[in-house]
Amino acid sequence: MGDKFFSKKYCDRCGNVLDARTMSWFNEDTICMDCFEKESEIKKKLQDGEKSYEGCGYIPDVDEKGEIK
Ligand SMILES: [Zn+2]
């Protein structure tokens, strides 16, 4: 986590103002809590597989059955 993380004003993913910020699980993005919630949903669908996607560099597109598209 460098200076960039703290100096950013806008979410890397959706462009919203960053009131609160966190790092993406999947890539280097600094994201807002809305996007964090979306990632949490994806992680839930990945279930045990989420570990292998940490820092993978993209956001996995998972369907309702937990299958990666
Ligand atoms: Zn966002």
pLDDT digits (tens, 9 = 90+) for 20-62: 999 999 999 999 999 999 999 999 998 878 889 999 999 998 8
Torsion of CA 21, 27, 28, 31, to 10 degrees: -20
- Give the distance (Å) from ligand 1 centre to CA of residue 9: 11
Q: Can you give the pLDDT at residue 49?
A: 81
**pTM of the full structure:** 0.84
| Residue 1 confidence class, pLDDT cut points 50, 70, 90 | low
pLDDT, position 40:
94
Listed in sequence order, the residues at least 6 apart from 27 whose beta carbon sits closer than 8 Å to its beta carbon are: 55, 56, 57, 58, 59
State which residues have CB under 5 angstroms from ligand 1, the bound ion: 11, 13-14, 16, 32, 35
